[in-house]
Amino acid sequence: MLMTNRDFTKDQMVQTGHFEGGKYAVFTVTHTTEKVNLFWRQLPQMIQNNRLNMRQAPIMERYKEEEGEDKVCEFLLPIF
């Protein structure tokens, strides 16, 4: 998801939609290919271990700009 003030409605390469708020479980991951792949592989077990009840909505990735070499991203899982 990209939030912007720019109007992309005429650009066929960009899909737009409505974001519905709600409750999300947030997982912070070091932004490397290895760590992100590990997150996706372990996601089903993390959902079960944390007893999360997922709702039908997209899982989002949010990137933070931080100083230093270790960049992080957050995975937002829609839950009830």
The answer to whether residue 17 sits within a structural domain is: no
Between 42 and 7, the higher pLDDT residue: 42
- Chain segment 57-70, per-residue pLDDT in tens: 989 888 876 665 66
**pLDDT score recorded for residue 43:** 95
- Chain segment 17-37, per-residue pLDDT in tens: 777 789 999 999 998 899 999
The answer to whether residue 44 sits within a structural domain is: yes
Query: Phi and psi at residue 11, in whole multiples of 5°?
Result: -95, 115
Report the C-alpha gap between 70 and 66 in whole angstroms.
Answer: 8
The answer to whether residue 51 sits within a structural domain is: yes
Mean pLDDT of the 2-22 span: 68
Name the residue range of residue 62's domain: 23-79
Q: Number of structural domains, the chain? A: 1
Report the C-alpha gap between 56 and 34 in whole angstroms.
Answer: 27
Mean pLDDT of the 36-44 span: 95
